[in-house]
């Protein structure tokens, strides 16, 4: 489907962090003052001191930001003025006879660096053993308030506002009257909200995280699977949501420390890559360390960590963003085993009334696009294959 002309001006963009900012980061890392750690605690109480210390030294002395910057700039980057901000996105054309437009949404504490290995598997599947007929043209925005979609003092966006902005990006700016959408983390809720708000524009949605309204969770427990989920959910709320309450109640206070200290920022973010990938191996075992540091560096150079907390604040102080609480468009779910929570299908079908595909994945966790790009891409391609006729 070809994009049509529109009245919005898309400006080409290339990221180039000033040398002075790189020097400042190295200087701050040289002056890091680390805390002590309870003897023998490891990762039990948060990011491991013994693991983090050499990672910070590597970030300071060996990490090549310019190489990571070039990886991002290798994709077609653009910015467009929307809703009072300069929205950044990549728009990568598909290599196939009729590529399907696909909106790809990231979450927190992620960025477009999560998608660098996934995107070519979607835009050029034949290069990775797939069929050219399954190609997508991928549109992947930086969430408003995140990374390259952030400037100091700009308006804050919650999930509903992000979904509305992305719908207009796809249709009004890029000219795609109908498209597919995929997401995990906040990207999952943005995708779900989008499908409920403008179902006529979506041929289907693919999720690798299922987020359900509180009333559905509150009514669970009628089956053994639902009872097990409630136990896991209670443990999650008790042991794993400290970050959520801090970011959702006092985001400004937290932002001072993480905006000023790169070591603090790294510890805050890397703990999530550890815990949300199963908590069985250090992050640099599960993920490529340079990509992790590229992601953190983007938060650092953009100064967007405080703004990135806003969806958490909104979620604790505003209604569920999905209009009507239900989605009727065709839906797929890729269930990665190390994901934080796994609602049973009986609950998921109350929120997603046309749940057509439910794929138990062999391995992987919350950051599936980064950890398992091959498996995720294959599931996305398989789900949307029969739905492409809906683009006509």
Active-site position among 164, 185, 284, 290: 185
Choose among 85, 83, 88: nearest CA to 10.
Answer: 88
Q: Known catalytic residue: 312?
A: yes
Cα-atom radius of gyration of the chain, to the nearest Å? 20
Q: Which of 91, 206, 342, 366 is catalytic?
A: 366
Burial state string for 308-335 with b = 16 or more CB within 10 A and e = fewer than 16: bbbbbbbbeeeebbbeebebebbbbbbb
User: Among this protein's residues, is 185 annotated catalytic?
Assistant: yes
377 vs 197: CA distance, rounded Å: 26
CB 103 within 8 A of CB 122: no
| Cα angle 315, 319, 322; round to 5 | 90
Q: How far apart are CA 67 and CA 38, in angstroms?
A: 37
DSSP conformation class of 137: E
Contact 82, 8 (CB under 8 A): yes
123: left (phi over 0), alpha (psi -120 to 50) or beta: alpha
- Closest residue by Cα to residue 15 from 293, 301, 303, 304: 301
Catalytic-labelled residue, pool 88, 312, 333, 342: 312
Q: Which three-class secondary structure state does DSSP give residue 203?
A: strand
Q: Which residue is associated with the tokens 């789900």?
A: 383
Interior angle at CA 351, CA 347 and CA 356, nearest 5 = 85
For residues 241 and 316, the answer to whether their CB atoms sit within 8 Å is: no
Active-site annotation holds for 313: no
d(CA 187, CA 204): 15
Q: What is the DSSP string of 32-54?
A: -------TT-TTTTSS-HHHHHH
Cis ω on the peptide bond leading into residue 184 (within 30° of 0)?
Answer: no
What backbone torsions phi and psi does residue 220 show, to the nearest 5 degrees? Answer: -80, 170
User: Which residues belong to the active site?
Assistant: 185, 312, 366
């Amino acid at each position: 489907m070809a994009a049509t002309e529109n009245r919005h001006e898309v400006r080409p963009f290339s990221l180039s962090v000033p040398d002075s900012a790189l020097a400042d980061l190295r200087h701050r890392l040289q002056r890091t003052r680390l805390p002590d750690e309870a003897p023998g605690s490891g990762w039990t109480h948060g990011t491991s001191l013994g693991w983090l210390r050499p990672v910070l030294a590597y970030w300071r002395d060996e990490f090549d930001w310019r190489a990571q910057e070039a990886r991002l700039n290798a994709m077609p980057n653009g910015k467009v003025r929307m809703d009072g901000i300069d929205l950044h996105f990549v728009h990568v054309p598909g290599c196939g006879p009729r590529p399907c437009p696909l909106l790809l949404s990231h979450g927190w504490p992620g960025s477009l660096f999560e998608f660098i290995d996934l995107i070519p598997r979607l835009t050029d599947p034949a290069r990775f053993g797939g069929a050219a007929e399954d190609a997508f043209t991928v549109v992947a925005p930086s969430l408003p308030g995140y990374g390259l979609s952030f400037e100091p003092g700009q308006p804050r966006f919650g999930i509903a506002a992000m979904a509305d902005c992305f719908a207009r990006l796809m249709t009004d700016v890029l000219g795609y009257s109908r498209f597919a959408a995929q997401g995990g983390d906040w990207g999952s809720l943005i995708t779900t909200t989008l499908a409920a708000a403008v179902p006529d524009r979506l041929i289907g949605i693919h999720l690798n995280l299922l987020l359900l309204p509180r009333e559905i969770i509150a009514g669970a427990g009628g089956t053994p699977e639902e009872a097990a989920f409630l136990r896991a959910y209670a443990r999650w709320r008790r042991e794993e949501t400290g970050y959520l309450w801090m970011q959702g109640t006092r985001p400004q206070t937290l932002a001072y420390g993480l905006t000023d200290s790169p070591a603090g920022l790294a510890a805050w973010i890397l703990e999530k890559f550890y815990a949300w990938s199963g908590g069985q191996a250090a992050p640099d075992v599960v993920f490529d360390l340079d990509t992790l540091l590229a992601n953190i560096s983007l938060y650092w150079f953009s100064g967007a960590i405080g703004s990135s907390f806003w969806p958490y604040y909104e979620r604790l102080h505003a209604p569920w963003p999905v209009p009507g609480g239900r989605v009727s468009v065709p839906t797929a779910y890729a269930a990665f085993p190390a994901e934080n929570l796994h609602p049973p299908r009986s609950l998921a079908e109350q929120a997603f009334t046309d749940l057509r595909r439910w794929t138990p994945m062999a391995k992987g966790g919350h950051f599936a696009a980064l950890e398992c790009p091959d498996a995720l891409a294959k599931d996305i391609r398989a789900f949307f294959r029969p739905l492409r006729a809906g683009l006509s």
